[in-house]
Amino acid sequence: MAADHTDSFWRPGITLEHVRARLRHTAAEHLGIELVDMGAEHVAATMPVDHRTCQPMRMLHGGASVLLAETIGSVAANAANHDPSRHFVGQEINANHLRPVPEGSVVTGVASPVHIGRSSQVWNIEIRNERGQLVCVSRLTMAAIAAPRE
């Protein structure tokens, strides 16, 4: 995967290590989600299919896929936000689960922008198995809210 990318698409000072630090002590960390790449206009992360992310039939849980998708899309939306007076939060997400993934696998999700606006953003997230097959496709709408005063 590529190294940290600080292209003008991302807010100045945003690096892969910066966004990794933001995920510490969150649901993403609990599920083993690891950010692995920030490209020119995408963010990628991996997630293990294990006891934390399986459903009872020992396959990837659809809810875990959605959590991966929203995590990556949220990280990307806020990294692309150049206005410090606001943050972006999830407003709507949908997901189509296309094929099962057995326990012991690792999936990779990649978020790319569909629309970057002042008050909303839309991100497409594709999750693939280790063979590169599409497992889940998700669309995430993010809404701008006022950033808390520090």
Active site residues: 70
The residue assigned the tokens 């280790």 is: 130
Answer for the pair 107, 101: CB distance below 8 angstroms, yes or no: yes
Q: Which residues pair with 137 in a beta bridge?
A: 96, 126
- Map the chain to HEC letters: CCCCCCCCCCCCCCCHHHHHHHCCCCHHHHCCCEEEEECCCCEEEEEECCCCCECCCCEECHHHHHHHHHHHHHHHHHHCCCCCCEEEEEEEEEEEECCCCECCCEEEEEEEEEEECCCEEEEEEEEECCCCCEEEEEEEEEEEEECCCC
